[in-house]
Amino acid sequence: MTNDPAKKEELSKLPEASPPEEAGSLIVGKPAQKAGGPEAVLSTLKHLRRETGLIRGTKTLLRTNQQEGFDCPGCAWPEAMVGRGKIEFCENGAKAIAEEATLQKVDGSFFSSRTLHELSLQTDYWLGKRGRITQPLFKAADSKTYVPISWTGAFQKISQRLNSLSTPNQAVFYTSGRTSNEAAFLYQLFVRSFGTNNLPDCSNLCHESSGVALKETIGIGKGTVRLEDFESAQLILVIGQNPGTNHPRMLIALQKAVRNGAKIVSINPLKEAGLCAFAHPQEPGGLLGFPTALAKLHLPVCINGDVALFKGLIKEVLEIERENSVLDWDFIQNHTLGFEELRNNIDRTDWQEILENCGISRPLLKETASLFIESERTIACWAMGLTQHENAVATIQELVNLMLLKGQIGKEGAGLCPVRGHSNVQGDRTMGIWERPPSDFLDRLEKEFCIRTPREPGTNTVESIEAMLEGKVRVFFAMGGNFLQAGPDTERTALGLRNCDLTVQVSTKLNRSHLITGKEALILPCLGRTERDGENPPRFVSVENSMGIVHSSQGKLPPTSPELLSEVEIVGRLAQETLGGKNSIPWEDLGQNYGKIRDHISRVIPGFEDFSSRILKPGGFELPNPPRDSRTFPTHSGKANFSVHPVKPIQLERGEFLMMTIRSHDQFNTTIYGLDDRYRGIYGDRRVVFMNSEDMQERGIKAKNMVNLVSGHESSLRKVRNFRVVPYEIPRRCIATYFPETNPLIPLEKVAVKSYTPASKSVICRLEIPS
């Protein structure tokens, strides 16, 4: 921080990057023992009534995830290609739709009496509840707020800034996971035609570690499971994932699996309600609150103890193998490499090292290993609990090692299942949203459009923030999302954004990233998933779900404002303004004609042949997946690779804890639907720290005591204030907090090896008692 009084005064007038620090009226109840039930129905109705009205909201929900409707703007969990039900939404999907279809609106008059600094003193929840943005808005360099601007004027300002850069690499183009395939393809084409690969996206923040780990081990950065595999699985491992909140429709698949005889093992520091039991609200018994028990076992692994845990399971399996053959030797010998190296490493790994680092008892590991050995059809699911650690890639590859032992890839009822958190984040990557595109993709792009593409790698999300801090980025453009609050190290990310000459946000609703700006800033309002796009006939887009199914999405609601444009049209018009005449690509025509974009995609991206016809098929079509379809592994060797990784203990000094950030049940990514977390018994506040009761007793902390959280030391000190401690069932020396409130504690430089994903689940913190 500066010691210059004038500079301090200037900084004090800037909008606040972090939410206000005042704690709310916290009520702590007992954690729920089941998900769903009548409470989920009541919550859905409450959100619809408040945002859309019950009649309008209900009609909209009934079009959600239907073959003639729109894809839910929430998670990427798939629905059946054929035979889907009339109700294909969940409680949190309903919240997402209510947020987007709200009747509340934000226009230029909203900003006329409010400075950005004043708005920044409000909570993220308050900001999001202001409503849909209805017109383009501009903040001048000498202004403290936004004023309306025409679309033509907005595109001209962006074009002038981009074309004045000394190199295209001075611009960064971010993408969120809600962008459609058509918008993503046209966007990356524009960015590469402009001359840069600076295409960071939200994958960098979540499942990048999964993609890297799987690409190295099985040759493809996607999962190998179909939805119907859950019905025939015998064992399902759910690891580092809370499906009851983050992917509630997954609970239906888990319920069906259990009823068909499958066993579920939950591996997670927290025991989550959604894996204890599920009361399906669409069933009479479930609606009355009678649940189906789900997880047979819960393994409360220490935060980032998963490498040790998987090594322990492998060690148990290999010890049993010495007495009785339990491995799939045909698969190992014909489809894998590196087994002997793995076995030697596991033999050298000491049991004490394993047990101390995972925090799971030997009998519980032995019981889990027995379930794994008995199962001929096992699915392993995971989410950010595995991907957001410095050793995340190694962790996921240790899980792959376990699955390869029994040949649990490429057969019915088995496979690897990274569960994506945003509706088209997987499709964005398929369409080329990637800072390190493969050369064969660029070759096809050049051939199709007669352009030259840049070949040097671009910047991922963390590298983009670092480049902004160093003054190397002058223009930041975000296609959706809430970049400031999604990223790590909030104050440094804010400083990077402020270093830019121009920041642009394509958005539906107000968020904190609109308040922390470059010298100039633009907000470009776009259509939501639920809204009709064009007339006679309305246009549709496509998305790819978490299991590689591509299908159409078409909104039905009238647009919130006549001034809204689709993301595709925004890209087309911006590209025409910026690059018109520099190449022969008909940008504006493509921005209007999505079918032509699909024709180009069909010739550039493998698996999308005859795209325009196949997308019309009810339920869409499935992309090729060699490991799943034919046990073919597109690695350098042509085989799946075992890998060897050490157990790396996290050294905690006295008074230090390992913190992981989590979502509440009233939250999707950075969007805050409410201030409750019903499943964990938290009501009225988000500034809480979940802590082991023995650790509390040792520190002399009582329930609801106020603490500050501190990470780093001396010059790198980071602090968030006024959090209340809640005793919870969590391993000792581990704590959990909600993001984005504690994102300021995540050091920018602490990232996963190889994937560069911020280590949001492994933050060493200290608790400070306020004076």
Kindly list the domain boundaries of the chain, sorted by start residue. 5-30+656-768, 106-203+424-526+565-605, 208-418
Residues 700, 706, 709, 714, CA torsion sign: negative
Opening angle at CA 273, ends 127 and 368, nearest 5: 130
The closest alpha carbon to 473, from 487, 488, 484, 463, belongs to 463
What sign does the CA torsion over 192, 198, 204, 210 have? positive
Give the pair of three-digit tokens for residue 246: 């983050």
Exposure string of 409-425, with b = 16+ CB inside 10 Å and e = fewer, is: bbbebbbbbbbbbbbbb
**Average of per-residue pLDDT across 299-325:** 97
Q: Hey, what's the torsion of the CAs at 400, 402, 406, 407, to 10 degrees?
A: 10
Measured N-to-C along each axis, helices 461-469 and 490-498 cross at an angle, to the nearest 10 degrees, of 60
- Work out the angle at residue 246's Cα, subtended by the Cα atoms of residues 217 and 426, and round it to the nearest 5 degrees: 45
Query: Which two structure tokens, joined as six digits, stand for 241?
Result: 């994932």
Which helix (DSSP H) or strand (DSSP E) does residue 461 occupy?
A: helix 461-469
- As a whole number, the mean pLDDT across the chain is 95
Give pTM, 2 decimals: 0.96
In the prediction, which pLDDT does 613 show? 97
Report the C-alpha dihedral over residues 666, 670, 671, 672, rounded to 10 degrees. 40
Sign of the C-alpha dihedral computed for residues 303, 308, 310 and 316 taken in this order: negative
ω into 537 cis (within 30 of 0): yes
pLDDT reported for residue 298? 98
CATH level 2 (architecture), domain 5-30+656-768: Beta Barrel (2.40)
Token code pair at residue 468:
């902004």
Q: Which amino acid is at 551?
A: H
Q: Please state, in angstroms and rounded to a whole number, the distance separating the CA atoms of residues 281 and 457.
A: 48
Distance, in Å, from the CA atom of 501 to the CA atom of 476, rounded to the nearest integer, reads: 8
pLDDT-based confidence at 1, cuts 50/70/90? very low
Which whole number is the average pLDDT over 597-620?
97
Residue with more model confidence, 73 or 513: 513
Q: Give, in order, the Cα–Cα distances in Å from 368 to each of 362, 572, 700.
A: 10, 53, 36
Taking only the tens place, the pLDDT of each residue in 387-412 is 999 999 999 999 999 999 999 999 99
DSSP-derived pairing of the beta strands 475-479 and 171-175 = parallel
Q: What is the pLDDT of residue 715?
A: 76
Rg (CA), the chain: 25
Q: Are 647 and 354 in contact (CB under 8 A)?
A: yes
Fold held by 106-203+424-526+565-605: Rossmann fold (3.40.50)
CATH label, 208-418, candidates 3.40.190.10, 3.40.605.10, 3.40.228.10, 3.40.50.12780:
3.40.228.10
Calculate the alpha carbon distances from 689 to 26, 314, 387, 725, 766 in Å: 12, 34, 22, 5, 12
Q: What percentage of the chain has pLDDT greater than the value 70?
A: 98
Task: Say yes or no to pLDDT of 267 above 50.
Answer: yes
Q: Please list the alpha-helical segments (H only) found in 227-361.
A: 229-232, 243-246, 250-259, 273-276, 284-287, 306-321, 329-335, 339-348, 351-358
φ/ψ of 658, rounded to 5, equals: -100, 120
Q: Please, which pLDDT band fits residue 771 given cuts at 50, 70 and 90? A: confident
Helix (H, G, I), strand (E, B) or coil at 290: coil
Q: How far is CA 719 from CA 18, 41, 707, in A?
A: 11, 39, 11
- Is 90 exceeded by the pLDDT of residue 229? yes
How distant, in Å, are the alpha carbons of 469, 489, 686, 742 from that of 746?
Answer: 16, 5, 18, 8
Out of 11-20, 133-142, 574-583, pick the least confident: 11-20
Angle (CA) 120 122 124, round 5°? 90
Mean pLDDT in residue range 611-633: 97
pLDDT digits (tens, 9 = 90+) for 523-532: 999 999 999 9
Neighbour-count burial for 138-158, b at 16+ CB within 10 Å, e otherwise: bbeeeeebbebbebeebbebb
**Least confident piece of the model among 57-71, 507-521, 698-712:** 57-71
